[in-house]
Structure 1
Amino acid sequence: MTRISILDHDRCQPKKCNYVCIEYCPGVRMDEDTITIDEKTKKPLISEELCSGCGICTKRCPFKAISVINLPEALEDPVHRYGQNMFELFGLPTVTEGDVIGLIGPNGIGKSTIIRILSGELRPNLGNFQDPPGWDEVINHFRGSQLQNYFQNLSEGKVTVVHKPQMVDKIPKYVKGKVEDLLLSIDSKRTDEVVETLEIGEIMGREISNLSGGELQSVAIAAAALREADFYYFDEPTSWLDVRQRLNAIRVIRSLAEAGKSVMVIEHDMAALDAMSDYVHILYGKPGGYGVVSNRRGVRVGINTYIRGFLREENVRFRDHEIEFKVKPPRAEEEGEVLVEYSKMIKSHAAFSLNVEEGTVYLNEVVTAFGPNGIGKTTFARILAGVEKPDEGNVKRKIKISYKPQYLSSDYAGTVEEFLYANAPSYGSNLFKSEIMRPFNLEEILDKAVNELSGGELQRLAVAVALSRDAELYVLDEPTAFLDVEQRLLAAKAIRRIIESRNASAMIIDHDIIFIDYISDRAMVFSGKPGVEGRAGSPTELREAMNTFLSETGITFRRDKETKRPRVNKPGSFLDRQQKEMGEYYYLKTE
């Protein structure tokens, strides 16, 4: 069995612990150089050849900076390793012309490393970080596979790559001017077609610095798709987009493959990944330690395999449980005790007005709210949370509310642990550890600076802090943004467990259909004209609400026969036409 040792340099603080890992290492006590000190960084270096895997250093390290991982015997010939005691990647996905290849797996598992390698930004060292091989050796390593020709062309500069980044909210820092200045400067014949498909014509004259998250995402997709390249890479292209916008993005991305281009996407919305991909590769391993790229599978089989957590061909179980989707019966309208009621409300801004129908939220229920961007969902959440007041109407009874806003600030100068001490009232309690710390995996980021967190880490922290407060209603605005598939479902379970144990309720705004299907008891639909006027219906049974919403967008869903997960029907397909004729846009009653 191969063994690797990983040192988290951000968490390792030898000045505070005085190298307890070296002090207690049995190998060091036997005068072996099992753990030495790096002269440059002054941090430990663990010899994987001499390490016995006893685990004493991992247990003694007060900052939990060391991991000793026993790899499956089948893992040989790594594609890349960043250095001693650093992340290692095994395998690469297949790149084929005319196909959209999807990557699905947890954050920190090597997806960014893969795209850096395939884009030519990072030459794979085949595990030899001390004396990296040249291109000839790399090409020879992949002989007989499709990657041989790919790397041959890449090494000769014959492959051009376009990359749509994950953190689109940072685009205004680097790109100035109007949307039309950016898109028209690309000088593509497809500009009008892409602008129309993405429905961004109305914002062409707007300054990029004034765009919302969803608008920035659409513009970033357009800018990437309009450039001429051989290989297109889209990192989380549906974040911040509503359901209709996601379908538009899927159409643009698929059009590139239909034109014979090679396309690769990282996507955590399984419904969107299903609709846009031809094939998928599952990535598994230990986040931050090592990642393994599985064999290529057809998109339906691949996603179902990921849900089951077992790779039959490789004989690998990467999760100890299967993700279960259940078709829940409709909830009775008068079921349960009333937590809060609100009257019909009106709220107007300079160029936008929101009308909300009266509604009720019951104890121990999760109500989700969905609809197009710019339609008033965040305004409604802010009214419930008491951040804004309606011009007309009111929330009939004051209750304790915990609010997680849509856009998160990472300006806090201290560490995550310091932030939790200051903002999470129950931090340090056993209840916090079991209900929040473990599900959101906060222990691994406690020593990180808040202003250095990734989008997913910041989201986990914000949701955790909101849930740590003692409240009767938890209002969470887009809690799944930047979270991977498993983190989204773990968050759903944690939210459900917390509201039931505290006899509370939750109002959640989100666009991920699978997350909404997984967590909702009831739902409310927002409609109208984005940026002009919005209408919010009363909370109603999920299937009825989904039918109303999807009929307005012209999208139909079905349930997968094996896993019961929601799947998008291809526009114009037999099922799409059949369900539209029956008025069943979400799924058939017989499913």
Structure 2
Amino acid sequence: MHIAVLDRERCHPKKCHHECQFYCPPVRSGTPTIEFPVENDQPVITEPLCIGCGICVHRCPFGAIKIVSVPDEMNKETFHQYGLNSFRLYSIPNIAPGKVTAILGPNGMGKTTTINILAGITVPNFGNYEKGGSKDDVMDRLSGTVMGDYFTALYTGEKKAVVKTQYVDLIPRAVKGKIGEILKKNDQTGNFDLVSSQLNLEGSLEKDVESCSGGELQKFAIATALLKDADIYLMDEMSSYLDIRERVNVANTIQKLAAKKTVMIVEHDLAILDWMADNVHLVYGQSGVYGVIVDQKTTNKAINSFLSGYLREENVRIRNYSIDFQEKSQKRTSTGQTVIRWMDLTKKLGDFTIHVNPGEIKSGQVIGVLGRNALGK
């Protein structure tokens, strides 16, 4: 079968000549594979009639179409589909109490969608996007399985789930005030002091959300989730913006939480994932088109499979190359002219002061800045 996905933000039928339809071989032979039900509106691609030639992909002047071939069996296992010619997710991970379960894979393959499904925010429709998702249907279809028990407890209110969003940079748009005041107001567990100490937030409690660094916003989001009285904690990308010391600190905090709660994480930092996770679900597919969540593996085996680009049990190659680490980094032997040079600098922002020693940047160089959070990088 062939999956056809239309990027509705890129598709502008009033600004093109409908090349996708005009050059489509089945359409030219009389098969209505690509149609425009409403004049000058976006097209509808009938997937069962698509031959997967990819001509429409290359002819579209806006790059709005993706055509991907997948095994026919996968169409019987669609877990959730957003709409006509839209992204779809195959299968769902297993999640169990007492362990840190992780999801690992490239962006745009349904990891955040999975988190929203596990939180009850999105109800899976099993590919029937016109009818929409039904909680009763989910419980019936998954009855007698571990995840069937999970969703039954979630939908009936027996268990409560909380999500830590990955979009921490958007927090200042939604929340106003000082970090400490907001956390105290939303504390449902009475562990405000403990959580603040565990995440090293004491020095940031008096700061306004709008003036916080990325690392402080990340720890604020994690603390907000930990202070919710829930049974299931779904943590989406916790390590971004954090330095290595803070990442290890957060990992230790999550491991302690998992000893008494149900925890699932989405993580890209392989070192932290290896440190924190007990089991890992790998995700493969094509970004923005489809995602497949495979059965859980031990952390070491999952990371090694991900780096090699080949899933042996599934007999699937997720990448046409492996990711290898060298013992020594490559060193540039030549650089270009000096682009900018500076002398001693001192900058003050409120109570914060940073001193910068003399330096320069030359063309062709890649400059790294390394250090703890909130030190002025």
Calculate the TM-score normalised by the size of structure 1: 0.59
- 8 Å CA contact retained: 2:6, 2:86: yes
Question: How far, CA to CA, are the matches of 2:336 and 2:66 in structure 1?
Answer: 49
Question: How far, CA to CA, are the matches of 1:336 and 1:26 in structure 2?
Answer: 53
- 1:3-28: per-residue Cα shift (whole Å, max 9, x none)? 21111111111111132222222333
Task: Report the counterpart of residue 173 of structure 2 in structure 1.
Answer: 173
Shift of 1:89: 0.6
Structure 1's 375 and 73: CA in aligned 2 closer, same or farther, altered over 3 A? same
Task: Report the counterpart of residue 344 of structure 2 in structure 1.
Answer: 345
| Worse-matched range after superposition: 176-185 or 129-138 | 129-138
Query: Equivalent residue of 1:241, what SS?
Result: coil
Structure 1's 43 and 218: CA in aligned 2 closer, same or farther, altered over 3 A? same
Query: Equivalent residue of 2:147, what SS?
Result: helix
Shift of 1:187: 4.1
Query: What amino acid is aligned across from residue 218 of structure 2 in structure 1?
Result: Q
Task: Report the counterpart of residue 324 of structure 2 in structure 1.
Answer: 324
Question: How far, CA to CA, are the matches of 1:295 and 1:138 in structure 2?
Answer: 19
Residues paired across the two proteins, number: 373
Shift of 1:73: 4.4
- 8 Å CA contact retained: 1:102, 1:279: yes
Query: Equivalent residue of 1:94, what SS?
Result: coil
Query: What amino acid is aligned across from residue 292 of structure 1 in structure 2?
Result: V
- 1:76-118: per-residue Cα shift (whole Å, max 9, x none)? 3110111221111101111111122221111111112111211
Question: How far, CA to CA, are the matches of 2:335 and 2:284 in structure 1?
Answer: 43
Question: How far, CA to CA, are the matches of 2:362 and 2:56 in structure 1?
Answer: 50
Question: How far, CA to CA, are the matches of 2:226 and 2:263 in structure 1?
Answer: 10
- 8 Å CA contact retained: 1:305, 1:311: yes
- 1:524-556: per-residue Cα shift (whole Å, max 9, x none)? xxxxxxxxxxxxxxxxxxxxxxxxxxxxxxxxx
Structure 1's 133 and 356: CA in aligned 2 closer, same or farther, altered over 3 A? closer
- 8 Å CA contact retained: 2:215, 2:374: no
- 8 Å CA contact retained: 2:335, 2:365: no
Task: Report the counterpart of residue 163 of structure 1 in structure 2.
Answer: 163
- 1:176-217: per-residue Cα shift (whole Å, max 9, x none)? 222222122214232211111111112222222222221111
- 1:358-401: per-residue Cα shift (whole Å, max 9, x none)? 66878865442211122233xxxxxxxxxxxxxxxxxxxxxxxx
- 8 Å CA contact retained: 2:14, 2:41: no
Task: Report the counterpart of residue 194 of structure 2 in structure 1.
Answer: 193
Task: Report the counterpart of residue 7 of structure 2 in structure 1.
Answer: 8
Structure 2 residue 148 is the aligned partner of structure 1 residue 113: no
- 1:537-579: per-residue Cα shift (whole Å, max 9, x none)? xxxxxxxxxxxxxxxxxxxxxxxxxxxxxxxxxxxxxxxxxxx
Question: How far, CA to CA, are the matches of 1:52 and 1:338 in structure 2?
Answer: 51
Question: How far, CA to CA, are the matches of 1:195 and 1:40 in structure 2?
Answer: 58
Task: Report the counterpart of residue 252 of structure 1 in structure 2.
Answer: 253
1:401-480 matches, cutoff 5 A: none
Structure 1's 215 and 312: CA in aligned 2 closer, same or farther, altered over 3 A? same
Task: Report the counterpart of residue 373 of structure 1 in structure 2.
Answer: 373
Question: How far, CA to CA, are the matches of 2:41 and 2:240 in structure 1?
Answer: 40
- 8 Å CA contact retained: 2:354, 2:376: yes
Shift of 1:338: 8.8
Query: What amino acid is aligned across from residue 254 of structure 1 in structure 2?
Result: Q
Provide the aligned C-alpha RMSD in A. 2.6
Task: Report the counterpart of residue 305 of structure 1 in structure 2.
Answer: 305
1:59-138 matches, cutoff 5 A: 59-75=58-74, 76-132=76-132, 134-138=134-138
Query: What amino acid is aligned across from residue 177 of structure 1 in structure 2?
Result: G
- 8 Å CA contact retained: 1:342, 1:359: yes
| Worse-matched range after superposition: 362-371 or 161-170 | 362-371
Structure 1's 15 and 357: CA in aligned 2 closer, same or farther, altered over 3 A? closer
Question: How far, CA to CA, are the matches of 2:141 and 2:275 in structure 1?
Answer: 34
Question: How far, CA to CA, are the matches of 1:309 and 1:374 in structure 2?
Answer: 36
1:217-366 matches, cutoff 5 A: 217-259=218-260, 261-328=261-328, 345-349=344-348, 351-356=351-356, 366=366
- 8 Å CA contact retained: 2:95, 2:101: yes
- 8 Å CA contact retained: 2:99, 2:278: yes
Query: What amino acid is aligned across from residue 36 of structure 1 in structure 2?
Result: E
- 8 Å CA contact retained: 1:338, 1:360: no
Structure 1's 3 and 204: CA in aligned 2 closer, same or farther, altered over 3 A? same
Question: How far, CA to CA, are the matches of 2:281 and 2:87 in structure 1?
Answer: 19
Shift of 1:326: 0.3
- 8 Å CA contact retained: 2:13, 2:40: no
Structure 1's 81 and 38: CA in aligned 2 closer, same or farther, altered over 3 A? farther
Query: What amino acid is aligned across from residue 344 of structure 2 in structure 1?
Result: M
Query: What amino acid is aligned across from residue 255 of structure 1 in structure 2?
Result: K
Query: Equivalent residue of 1:147, what SS?
Result: helix
- 8 Å CA contact retained: 1:225, 1:252: no
Task: Report the counterpart of residue 206 of structure 2 in structure 1.
Answer: 205
Question: How far, CA to CA, are the matches of 2:336 and 2:44 in structure 1?
Answer: 59
Structure 1's 131 and 338: CA in aligned 2 closer, same or farther, altered over 3 A? closer
Structure 1: give runs of 5+ residues left out of the alignment. Answer: 378-591
1:510-525 matches, cutoff 5 A: none
Query: Equivalent residue of 1:162, what SS?
Result: strand
- 8 Å CA contact retained: 1:101, 1:263: yes
Any runs of at least 4 consecutive aligned residues in structure 1 with deviations exceeding 4 A, and if so which? 329-332, 335-344, 355-365
- 8 Å CA contact retained: 1:162, 1:229: yes
Higher relative contact order (CA 8 A, sep 6+): 2
1:503-542 matches, cutoff 5 A: none
Shift of 1:231: 1.3
- 1:498-547: per-residue Cα shift (whole Å, max 9, x none)? xxxxxxxxxxxxxxxxxxxxxxxxxxxxxxxxxxxxxxxxxxxxxxxxxx
- 8 Å CA contact retained: 1:336, 1:363: no
Structure 1's 201 and 26: CA in aligned 2 closer, same or farther, altered over 3 A? same
Task: Report the counterpart of residue 145 of structure 2 in structure 1.
Answer: 145
Query: Equivalent residue of 2:47, what SS?
Result: coil
Query: Equivalent residue of 1:49, what SS?
Result: helix
Shift of 1:356: 4.8
